[in-house]
Structure 1
Amino acid sequence: MGIKGQILLVLVIIGWLGFDAVHCYNRPPPGKNIAVPHVGDDATPQQVHISQVGQDKMRISWITHEPTSATVEYGPSPSANAFSANGETTFYNYVTYLSGHIHNVVIGPLKPNTVYYYRLGESDKTYNLKTTPSQFPIKFAVVGDLGQTEWTVSTLQHIKDSNYDMLLLPGDLSYADVIQPLWDSFGRLVEPLASERPWMVTTGNHDVEKIPIIHRTPFTAYNARWKMPFQESGSDSNLYYSFDVSGVHVIMLGSYTDFDSDSAQYQWLKGDLENINRGKTPWVFVLVHAPWYNSNEAHQGERESVGMKASMEDLLYQARVDVIFAGHVHAYERFKRVYNDESDDCAPIYINIGDGGNREGLAKKYQDPQPDISMFREASFGHGTIDVVNASHALWSWHKNDNEERVASDTVWLTSLSSNHACIA
């Protein structure tokens, strides 16, 4: 075996070990892995996805194998030629891998709740996207630990059928685990959805991809491929940021970057929470990867959960955050409003939704007895939706993939803390 073969073997072993090697537990087998090939020539756009930038703009990201212009033509009619915008093109190296040309273009201003058509670079293909509404109601799809397996395909189809406005993903996107072509496959897999609705994401442990000596920089692929609007929220890192959409303030946190009280992330979060205007955004959602509350036997006692909770829980409680979504544990669980391990009517609801379709399988072992603060738990692949109807009420539903059918298994009405006078000073 030559040196390149040896390196590849090491990378494969590291990738399949992932970052869970020191936290061993048995999982049932997942669905078969899916590899999505590129169709077209080297100038054909691929891995197209969009993300929201501010109130009235969208960032369109795509990759080509040969240099093309970072230009988007767009408009409200299928001719897609009313407006044009230019952006930037970058690439990255990862050991022996060289990425394609990564294009990022911000378009707008755009009208809310409107379909726009667009073309990329020199390509004749026309895509379409729908902007988010400017006010209630708005529907979010929420899914973690997505991966690219047969279960992922089912989950994506169910999400598409939900007719959502925006997708929120609390980490672990591609499960490339250092095998960089898997990022390309993942981008092609999610393109049909991610090119039509904004996908707002944050990082998980499988997105870190830091290898001692060989590749010391974490999040290389994630930061290059999935650029989020961090600068607009005053953050200095693509790993944590916030944004407002349709009456909801959404905060994305990084479980695998510094979070102690003297860290840049903590200081940014403190300032962000202080600047929330509950008259403008009555709802506040937070997404992390490693859950702070978890009655599954998987991922108990990890620093990213215990340490981040100890550092930041009080901040989020005092700010009256409504819901905290997490991934990491490959199962579903919904908690009561909880603060300091006890039920509290003015605390956030915790929802773990790391069941998108990862290649590692489900985490089926739960602690017995079920804690009083845990309301519903089940180890099944699936996704969630949250329909924010108005300033005070939202409908949360978890849909499991039952024989590939979309089945609503846990549904509950939520009331915003901003509408609870007992919780707002």
Structure 2
Amino acid sequence: MELKLVSTTLTVFLLMISVTVTIADYIRPQPRETLQFSWKSNSPSYPQQVHISLAGEKHMRVSWITDDNSSPSVVEYGTSPGRYSSMAEGESTSYNYLFYTSGKIHHIVIGPLEHDTTYFYRCGRQGPEFQLKTPPAQFPVTFAVAGDLGQTGWTKSTLEHIDLCKYDVHLLPGDLSYADYMQHRWDTFGELVQPLASARPWMVTEGNHEKEYIPLLKDGFASYNARWKMPSEESGSTSNLYYSFEVSGVHIIMLGSYADYDKHSDQYNWLKADLLKVDRKKTPWLLVLLHVPWYNSNEAHQGEGDGMMQAMEPLLYAASVDLVLSGHVHAYERSNRVNNRRPDSCGPVHITIGDGGNREGLARRYKNPKPDWSVFREASFGHGELKIANATHAFWSWHRNDDDEPVRSDQVWITSLVNSECLAEKSHEFRKILMAP
């Protein structure tokens, strides 16, 4: 009996050593080369780079590009393959960037659509048939989250892992194509993400790699604004760089890290007005996405979000925001609930998820000692999944790309502030701050 006990103890001890060594010896992956795309000889009116986004209650925006300027901006759609009971017409645009001229960029809003329903659709009356699935009307609802995607081998791996996730909406907190002035890279990015982005809505906000500003020659975000039209008008925003939308009991605010954000700015005033419209009985969850993180213990991009944080954090805190998702730092980090740089049970959880697969590589250096608000951090490529189970509980998981296999490395249950004392205690403060001139 004593020998058996010693043997069992030794086995457990060796197992602990093995686990410790495995974690300590984990070698983070190196960057992978940028993907190469072969030229395709399709008809000039053939729809390319198809993607969809939410466009108000029960509506979806379908976007694509054609090389033929005479191609019609029309979407035919229905609930049966090859049988289109409805049709919608829309708008188109194009842009010039130095020696580059884009194709005809089509944006068509379709609907009203039924919740949790598969629709089959065709763009411009020709080309392949696509299918999309609308989000559910109520919980549960699942979001895939990945920022700073780019077009590398790791991007491809991340997209493959997201495709395995049964998600309803993709959230992308900035840095999409990493075109960086090379406009054809916008086209190859659209081609790369089309299989996923044509089937589920992609809701994005801008990052620094979308700016592409050339003094005296080109305004910033011209390519991004032309190609990725988001529901700014539907949410009362005057800029495509910040907007909000609601889906399945969740109100989501997409802020613009590269739009003016001080207390006299349009974005600040829009945010106040948008928060005042939020009905936590209808949408008990309140989420915010932006590119530059406010809470970051990585050596990379230290302090870049401080100005925006100083201006807007009091608004988010007063409104009892549950979760803030950001990108920019090419690594993963999750905080506990925090406000004013201190742990606070009434503040939001902050998650940095800028590790989708960009060509610049990982941000491997963290500041030590770890701040008391930081819970988990790791410099690896990957994606996140947020499953909101009901009005009060959500499950967050982060999936590291490990040898092309999605490995769940971090997970946590998050409880909404909707029924907490925080919301009740801050109701007066909330109104005071948001109603202030």
> Does TM-score exceed 0.5, indicating one fold?
yes
Which one of 128, 131, 134 corresponds to residue 134 of structure 2?
131
User: Does 2:321 correspond to 1:282?
Assistant: no
- Find the counterpart in structure 2 of residue 60 from structure 1: 62
Deviation at 1:44, TM superposition (A): 1.1
Deviation at 1:368, TM superposition (A): 1.0
- Find the counterpart in structure 2 of residue 344 from structure 1: 344
Deviation at 1:74, TM superposition (A): 0.4
Q: Distance in 2 between matches of 1:397 and 1:28?
A: 20
Deviation at 1:423, TM superposition (A): 3.6
Deviation at 1:279, TM superposition (A): 0.1
- Find the counterpart in structure 1 of residue 429 from structure 2: none
Amino acid at match of 1:416: S
- Find the counterpart in structure 2 of residue 308 from structure 1: 308
* SS state at 1:363 partner: coil
1:130-188 residue CA offsets vs partner (Å, 9 max, x unmatched): 00001000000011101010000000000010011000000000000010000000000
1:208-256 residue CA offsets vs partner (Å, 9 max, x unmatched): 00022332x0100000000000111110000000011000000000001
Change (3 A) 1:380 1:109: same
* SS state at 1:383 partner: strand
* SS state at 2:418 partner: helix
* SS state at 2:380 partner: coil
**8 Å contact 1:80–1:126 — kept in the other structure?**
no
Equivalent positions of 1:88-237 (< 5 A) are 88-215=91-218, 217-237=219-239
Amino acid at match of 1:360: E
Q: Distance in 2 between matches of 1:98 and 1:70?
A: 19
- Find the counterpart in structure 2 of residue 15 from structure 1: none
* SS state at 1:200 partner: strand
User: Does 2:112 correspond to 1:82?
Assistant: no
**8 Å contact 1:141–1:168 — kept in the other structure?**
yes
- Find the counterpart in structure 2 of residue 369 from structure 1: 369
- Find the counterpart in structure 2 of residue 18 from structure 1: none
Q: Distance in 2 between matches of 1:91 and 1:340?
A: 43
Deviation at 1:274, TM superposition (A): 1.2
Deviation at 1:29, TM superposition (A): 5.0
- Find the counterpart in structure 2 of residue 260 from structure 1: 262
Amino acid at match of 2:205: T
Deviation at 1:36, TM superposition (A): 3.0
**8 Å contact 2:46–2:127 — kept in the other structure?**
no
Amino acid at match of 1:375: V
User: Does 2:53 correspond to 1:47?
Assistant: no
Amino acid at match of 2:91: E
Deviation at 1:391, TM superposition (A): 0.2
- Find the counterpart in structure 2 of residue 245 from structure 1: 247
**8 Å contact 1:132–1:246 — kept in the other structure?**
yes
Q: Distance in 2 between matches of 1:357 and 1:37?
A: 21
User: Does 2:297 correspond to 1:291?
Assistant: no
* SS state at 2:317 partner: helix
**8 Å contact 1:337–1:350 — kept in the other structure?**
yes
Structure 2 length-normalised TM: 0.89
User: Does 2:35 correspond to 1:34?
Assistant: yes
**8 Å contact 1:170–1:327 — kept in the other structure?**
yes
Q: Distance in 1 between matches of 2:36 and 2:271?
A: 38
* SS state at 1:419 partner: coil
* SS state at 2:421 partner: coil
* SS state at 2:192 partner: helix
User: Does 2:415 correspond to 1:412?
Assistant: no
The structure, 1 or 2, with the larger RCO (C-alpha pairs under 8 Å, 6+ apart) is 1
**8 Å contact 1:331–1:352 — kept in the other structure?**
yes
1:322-367 residue CA offsets vs partner (Å, 9 max, x unmatched): 0000000000000011100000000000000000000100000000
User: Does 2:387 correspond to 1:387?
Assistant: yes
Query: CA RMSD of the aligned region, Å?
Result: 1.2
Q: Distance in 2 between matches of 1:38 and 1:79?
A: 28
Deviation at 1:76, TM superposition (A): 0.1
Q: Distance in 1 between matches of 2:395 and 2:172?
A: 18
Amino acid at match of 2:340: N
Deviation at 1:386, TM superposition (A): 0.3
**8 Å contact 1:115–1:131 — kept in the other structure?**
yes
Deviation at 1:422, TM superposition (A): 4.1
Q: Distance in 2 between matches of 1:424 and 1:383?
A: 34
- Find the counterpart in structure 2 of residue 332 from structure 1: 332
Deviation at 1:28, TM superposition (A): 8.2
Q: Distance in 2 between matches of 1:368 and 1:163?
A: 37
**8 Å contact 1:80–1:119 — kept in the other structure?**
no
**8 Å contact 1:28–1:361 — kept in the other structure?**
no
**8 Å contact 1:393–1:414 — kept in the other structure?**
yes
Q: Distance in 1 between matches of 2:389 and 2:37?
A: 37
Amino acid at match of 1:400: R
**8 Å contact 1:233–1:243 — kept in the other structure?**
yes
Deviation at 1:371, TM superposition (A): 1.1
Structure 1 length-normalised TM: 0.92
Q: Distance in 2 between matches of 1:29 and 1:396?
A: 26
Q: Distance in 2 between matches of 1:111 and 1:121?
A: 23
Amino acid at match of 2:74: T
Deviation at 1:95, TM superposition (A): 1.1
- Find the counterpart in structure 1 of residue 7 from structure 2: none
Deviation at 1:421, TM superposition (A): 2.8
